[in-house]
Structure formats: structure tokens, C-alpha cells
Structure 1
Amino acid sequence: MNAPIVWIMGGPNSGKDVQVQKIVEKYGFTHIDPNAMVDKEIEAKSADGKKFEAIRKDGKEVPLADIVPLVEKQIMGQRGGINGFLLNGYPRNEAEAKVLEDRLGQPTMIIALDVQGDTNKKESKAVLQKYSNITMQLNAERDANEVFEDLVPNMETLVKNRGPQISIGR
């Protein structure tokens, strides 16, 4: 499948969900939310859901490697007319980036939303450095519409080219 994959990263209160919604509405990308997938499996009481629930009850996060098969299933379930995929909230570190790249392929673009006090910055720094040529870092401590307007030129180019031939502006 030749559709762009965009990772949108950012800590709590960075506005990821708002930007995801705006991108989905304007560009028709398919939103992939691994945390929502975990919740759905738990609610359905599936075998995976029971495993995920036990992990969460121990106060741990469900490893991305355990979630990726659900992501793959969602991606493979999309047929024709796909404008792109938007992966919300991942990766948070290099290990997760490797899992995603190994299983889903290299991202076409990364949107990193920066806010002060983001406790995830230290872990995600290596990811942003590794993919610096395709990463757009934005100050997310502004009005959501301003942040989105900064995304638009690169999203337009990404949609037009349907691939990595973009020039990331900051």
C-alpha cells in the first residue's frame, strides 16, 4: 500500500487529538489510535484484551509491540482511496520507533508538538534526531488553529506527492 504514514508525537496537553481531528477532516487520513485499540480490546474481553487489562492492572503500559498487530490489521483492512495514515501518540522512544518501522515501514513525516513540562521529551529526543529530515517540530503552546496552519504547507505537499519528497519547514 503506497499511502503516507504520519506519526504525531507530543506529551500530555500538546493538542495531538485536536491536530489529528483537523488533519483527518481536511485531508481524509485514517486515524490510528493505539490506545483506543487497547481500550476496545479490553471492553470486548478478547484474549488480547484480557492480556492488556492484566498489564494495565499492574500499573504498566501495554507494550507497543503487543499493539502493532491490531494496527496492522486496521491498516490492511483499508482498501482503496486511502489518503494516508495518522498514528496518534507514538512512538515515544527509539525502541517503539524501531517496532513501528520494522512492522509498518518508515514514516513519511513526523509532527512533533512541543509544550513546556513535557516529561516525554527526554525519551522522544532520540527519535526526533534520528528522523530529523522528516520531522516538523511545532510550538503547541499556541492556538490550535495557528498550529494547524503551520502544518498545512507540508501536509499539502505530502498529499500531492504521496511520499517523502517534502521539505520540512519549522
Structure 2
Amino acid sequence: MTDKPVIFVIGGPGCGKGTQCEKIVSKYGFTHLSTGDLLRDEVKSGSERGKRLNAIMESGQLVPLEEVLGLLKDAIKKNDSNSKGFLIDGYPREVDQAIKFEEQVSKCTFVIYFDVSDSVMVQRLLKRGETSGRIDDNEETIKKRLATFHQHSDPILSHYKDKLVKISGERLPEEIFLDVCKAIEDKCK
């Protein structure tokens, strides 16, 4: 268990989580742990676990709770001594994941939710797909990912209603970041 602040960063694919997390890391010295990046790194490793995870991700389904929790736990342990806090990007995606994380890893300090319409997220992801080389940046998979995100996010937002900071993600990154800074400075005293 870490005694550093832990912020869950939630929003649909293409909502700007990665961009805002980069800014937070730069300003506050937090460690950004993107479950998507952790999963993609595992896939690239060519391990048996990576091959299994790749098949799940290509089908647009959620990776099982224990797999993601294990990757996060290892990453927090590895970075705990040199970090001022943790941004958990793209996790939890189910209430069970939130509960298990708080039981096994750390309490959540608060949750940032980037609110962005589906049409904007689809546009952003298709544009990113032109240069990213990511196998999941195609229209069919994007639509599956959005449907899965919506199905699972509402219960999480309800579960964390007392720790939730909702931020509109359809503005300039600098404007969004002002709201992010206010939330961090208010909640991580």
C-alpha cells in the first residue's frame, strides 16, 4: 500500500486523459500509470500473458480484473519511492475493480472524470489512428470500446460520487488543465 495520493482518471477512449496526465506529471511529479499502456507493453513483450491479453483487446472486451490489478500493483510498487502520487488512467472500469484496488493496493484520494461526447471521441480516435499504429484505433473497434465504456462507467461514477470531480473535456487542453490543477490542489492537501 502506498501512502501517496492516488487519483483515478476516468473518461472514454479519446477524451484527453493521456494529455492531461502528461501535464499533471510535469507539474506535480506524479507517476502516470495508464492501464492501456501497461497492457500494450505486456502484449509487445510477446509473453504468453501478452498474447492472451491481445486476443481479448482485439475483440473489444475488457481485460479481466485480476490481470489489470496485478499490472497496476507491480507498477505502483516499482515507482512508490520516487513518486509524489499516482494517476491511474483508465481504471477502474468496473465497481468490483475499484473495491479490489482499494482493498489490495491503496485508497483512492479522488476521481477525475473527463466528460466528452461520443462523437468527439470517435473523431479524435480516428485522427489518432492515422498516425498511432494502434490496432484498436479503427471505427468498428472504437464503437465497441465506447459501448463497453458507457456500460461500465456509470456505476463507477455513482460509487465515487463523494470523491468525483467532473471536468468538461471539450475545451482547449490548457483550459481543462486549469480545472485539473484546482481539483488536485483542493483534494491533495
Q: TM-score, normalised by structure 1?
A: 0.83
1:141 to 170, 178, 182: 170
**Aligned-pair CA distance for 1:111:** 0.2
Name 1:166's counterpart in structure 2. Answer: none
Pair 49,147 (structure 1): closer, same or farther in 2 beyond 3 Å = same
Name 1:71's counterpart in structure 2. Answer: 72
Q: In 1, distance between residues paired with 2:82 and 2:110? A: 20
Q: In 1, distance between residues paired with 2:49 and 2:14? A: 29
> Which deviates further from its counterpart, 13-22 or 47-56?
47-56
Number of residue-to-residue matches in the alignment: 160
Q: In 1, distance between residues paired with 2:22 and 2:154? A: 25
Name 1:18's counterpart in structure 2. Answer: 19
Q: Is the 8 A contact 1:4 1:158 kept in 2?
A: no
**Aligned-pair CA distance for 1:115:** 1.2
| Secondary structure at 2:81 match in 1 | coil
Q: In 2, distance between residues paired with 1:49 and 1:146? A: 37
Runs of 5+ consecutive residues of structure 1 not aligned to the other structure:
162-170
Which amino acid in 1 is paired with 2:86? Answer: F
**Aligned-pair CA distance for 1:137:** 0.4
| Secondary structure at 1:107 match in 2 | coil
Q: Is the 8 A contact 1:6 1:108 kept in 2?
A: yes
Residue 180 of structure 2 corresponds to residue 151 of structure 1: yes
Pair 48,146 (structure 1): closer, same or farther in 2 beyond 3 Å = same
Question: Pairwise mapping of residues 1-170 of structure 1 onto structure 2 (< 5 A)?
Answer: 1-56=2-57, 60-117=61-118, 119=147, 120-159=149-188, 161=189
Which amino acid in 2 is paired with 1:109? Answer: F
Deviations 1:97-143 (A, max 9, x none): 22322322321010001012364345312211221121100111111
RMSD, aligned α-carbons: 2.0
Which amino acid in 2 is paired with 1:92? Answer: R
Q: In 1, distance between residues paired with 2:151 and 2:8? A: 18
Runs of 5+ consecutive residues of structure 2 not aligned to the other structure:
119-145
Q: Is the 8 A contact 1:8 1:112 kept in 2?
A: yes
Q: In 2, distance between residues paired with 1:154 and 1:136? A: 7
Deviations 1:143-169 (A, max 9, x none): 11111101212212444x2xxxxxxxx
Q: In 2, distance between residues paired with 1:55 and 1:61? A: 7
Which amino acid in 2 is paired with 1:73? Answer: D
> Which deviates further from its counterpart, 89-98 or 138-147?
89-98
**Aligned-pair CA distance for 1:36:** 1.3
Which amino acid in 2 is paired with 1:47? Answer: E
Which amino acid in 2 is paired with 1:151? Answer: V
